[in-house]
Amino acid sequence: MRKIFSLLALGLMLCFGTLAHAQTPAQSLAEVMAQNADFIAKPSRQTIGPVIAAITATGDPAAAAVLSAWAEKGLGLRKDGAFFIITDQGDSWGLTDISGSPAGTAPKADITQLKPNSGVRGLIAGALVQFQLSDPNPARRIEALTAIARAPEEGHLSALRAAISGEEDSDILAQKQRLERLLTLQFDADPAARIAAIDGFGSDIGLDLRAALNPLLATSRQAFTTPPEGANIAKTLEIGRDVSRLEAYDLLVAASLAPARLTVEDARKSLESNIENGTVGGIAVTDLGTQTARDAAYSALEAAGKVPPAATEAEVDAALAAHSFADIYAEPNAQITSAAKSALGRIETQLAAMQTLDLTLDGLSLASIYFLAAIGLAITFGVMRVINMAHGEFITMGAYTGYVVQLFVPNYTVSLIVALPLAFAITFGAGVLLERTVIRHLAKRPLETLLATFGISIALQQLFKNIFGTQARPLTSPAWLDGAFVLNDVVSISYIRIAIFVMALIFLGLFLLMMKRTSLGLHVRAVTQNPAMAASMGINTARINMLTFGLGSGIAGVAGVAIGLFAKVTSELGSDYIVQSFMTVVVGGVGNIWGTLAGAGLIGFLQKGIEWFNPSNTLAAQTYMILFIILFIQIRPRGIIALKGRAAGD
């Protein structure tokens, strides 16, 4: 009975002892630092990790301030073993105890400033992450996420997971969850969790995801007699198909599985240096006429220790036949590499689709620019059959009008609203003046018209240089046009390009409205179809020609303002677009707005497509495009949409 009571007493003591141990409160920050003062005073990367972990485990709000001060050399140790956060005050240190309360000052001789090395600072920075991830300031939490994404480490994973549950900001929560999946697929010890993280990204094609997946599929080329235990083989290599004979043997040499190859030159030198009494390795010099004899002589010298070990060709063949070669994944788990390969394959498919979409948007954007630049030329060329080589200078005139307006109207939105109609009015007037003074006197004389307008083009360029100089002038877009619409890492388009596309649609709508719903449009269509018949019906064809030329020039001025928002405004601005404008009109079909639209689309998409195949040589892209257009005109000389009726035969 006494033994039973003794056992019961012992059990109760153990039970209460266990409970007492379980209920022992966590150590305070001061206690942890006092117990580890020696490690903190002389830290190393190998010993300080548990100390930093213990400091963060206290849960004390002051731990973050202490760690930050330590990392920035702002932590001091007094001779009595007390720690303080210190600030330099000349001959003394300003002291703040580790709880955050002011503690006066102390002579610098009484305080040892702690200066951790870069390795220790890195450990401290990793520990600070968990405090920053839960910081009340959202900006600090975003900074912490950015820092982790820039240099992810295994230690960040647990801190990130702990910070997810208390996150109330939905955007930051989404960032934390995505970053947690990225770190899980890289560092989690559970293969199932890593595979689930890979599959959890779904249709995500982010660059950071690809950067995390690619190392999982990294391989090293290895040689072996039997496959290494647990090796995750990506591909077994066949000599002559996947790897050359020389490369395969070099793998054997690198793995210390075979001696270095014996080259012909090395063999010759070794044999010559070991000739004794007319023999080499027991073989007469006169018998060394064959490769087999020379190999045998070298092998004999090798056995005698007179030459370094080396493999003859026969030995190379034997060694290659006795070993296998393969590309082996650095990641040992085959299920993880399979999931990563599947995810990257899915991403590559989506990237191809996104790149196609991005190329389409670029082509559409360029087409809208060419349409704006060419629509005025299409009107004048279609109605008057005038080849206006000064059309590009009207574009330049519009761009400079926008620049001058911004000199007097500092608000970029207001200046843009003022510049568009003003550019139209100025270039409309310039076009009317050119038609009245030059074009009408050269009617039905296309060569003389071309030469005259070419001379005017040169004169206008020189005039622009005299007024505005040769340096590019800024035409600044409003703030609401800054930046770009970003769909993902691949697809983006600037807001300026979107605005130009919208402007092109507006001009298309206004032009169609004018041509279909106004008397001017009716007269223009009549003159386009049959000038003589239109004149006999009482239409003033000279006035229509003047207004048409002015209208085309005015639209070129508006296009100049739009183009100047993203292109450099110089005297040569128009000359950069005149060739494409003429190609747009000719390819689309002279005198047809829908043809101009189709031509702009063809030229824009063709140029972007050629640049995609040869992105480093834009001049080659221009050359190939012109060659294509020459071939196209041979097939469809009247363009994509040709005029019908009597005008088609003019």
Helix, strand, or coil (residue 280): strand
Beta-carbon neighbour count of residue 170 at 10 Å?
8
pLDDT greater at residue 63 or residue 434 = 434
Lowest mean pLDDT among 144-158, 295-309, 437-451, 633-647: 633-647
pLDDT band at 206 (very low <50, low <70, confident <90, very high): confident
Tokens at 628, concatenated: 């294509």
pLDDT band at 538 (very low <50, low <70, confident <90, very high): confident
Tokens at 313, concatenated: 């060709």
pLDDT band at 590 (very low <50, low <70, confident <90, very high): low
pLDDT at residue 13 tops 60: no
pLDDT in tens, 19-49: 333 333 457 888 888 888 887 888 876 778 7
pLDDT band at 1 (very low <50, low <70, confident <90, very high): very low
Which helix (H) or strand (E) covers residue 546, if one does? helix 541-564
- Measured CA to CA in angstroms, residue 276 lies from 124, 142, 303 at distances of 70, 80, 16
- Measured CA to CA in angstroms, residue 612 lies from 364, 489, 580, 625 at distances of 14, 17, 19, 13
The DSSP output letter for 285 is G
Stretch 253-264: mean pLDDT, rounded? 83
d(CA 543, CA 562): 29
Where does 374-449 show beta strands of DSSP type E?
A: none
Cβ atoms 283, 293 nearer than 8 A:
yes
d(CA 597, CA 103): 78
pLDDT in tens, 67-113: 888 888 888 888 888 888 888 888 888 888 888 888 888 888 888 88
495-517 vs 334-384: helix axis angle to the nearest 10? 40
Residue 373 phi/psi, 5° resolution? -70, -30
- Of 589, 596, 599, whose CA–CA distance to 625 is shortest? 599
Beta-carbon neighbour count of residue 561 at 10 Å?
29
The DSSP output letter for 638 is T
Return mean pLDDT, the chain: 82
d(CA 400, CA 103): 67
pLDDT for res 615? 64
Stretch 601-627: mean pLDDT, rounded? 77
- Of 274, 254, 262, whose CA–CA distance to 314 is shortest? 262
Whole-model pTM: value is: 0.63
For residue 34, which amino acid is it? A
In sequence order, what are the residues at sequence separation of 6 or more whose Cβ sits closer than 8 angstroms to the Cβ of residue 42?
none
Q: Which CATH architecture has domain 355-649?
A: Orthogonal Bundle (1.10)
Give, in degrees to the nearest 5, the angle at Cα 150 between 145 and 151.
105
pLDDT for res 642? 64
Lowest mean pLDDT among 123-132, 148-157, 325-334: 123-132
Lowest mean pLDDT among 105-119, 240-254, 323-337: 105-119
- Of 315, 311, 334, whose CA–CA distance to 262 is shortest? 311
What are the extents of the domains in the chain? 2-121, 134-217, 219-329, 355-649
Cβ atoms 639, 587 nearer than 8 A:
yes
Which helix (H) or strand (E) covers residue 131, if one does? helix 118-133
Sheet holding 219-224, edge to edge: 219-224, 324-329, 233-236
d(CA 180, CA 172): 12
Residue 489 phi/psi, 5° resolution? -65, -15
412-437 vs 541-564: helix axis angle to the nearest 10? 150
- Of 168, 162, 135, 133, whose CA–CA distance to 149 is shortest? 133
Lowest mean pLDDT among 210-219, 452-461, 503-512, 520-529: 520-529
pLDDT for res 12? 33
β-strands 111-113, 484-486: how paired? Answer: unpaired
Stretch 122-144: mean pLDDT, rounded? 80
* Secondary structure (H, E, C), 289-300: CCHHHHHHHHHH
Burial (Cβ within 10 Å: 0-12, 13-18, ≥19) of residue 553:
buried
pLDDT for res 591? 63
Tokens at 627, concatenated: 């060659």
pLDDT for res 370? 86
Cβ atoms 359, 261 nearer than 8 A:
no
- Of 570, 614, 384, 611, whose CA–CA distance to 468 is shortest? 570
pLDDT band at 17 (very low <50, low <70, confident <90, very high): very low
Cβ atoms 390, 354 nearer than 8 A:
no
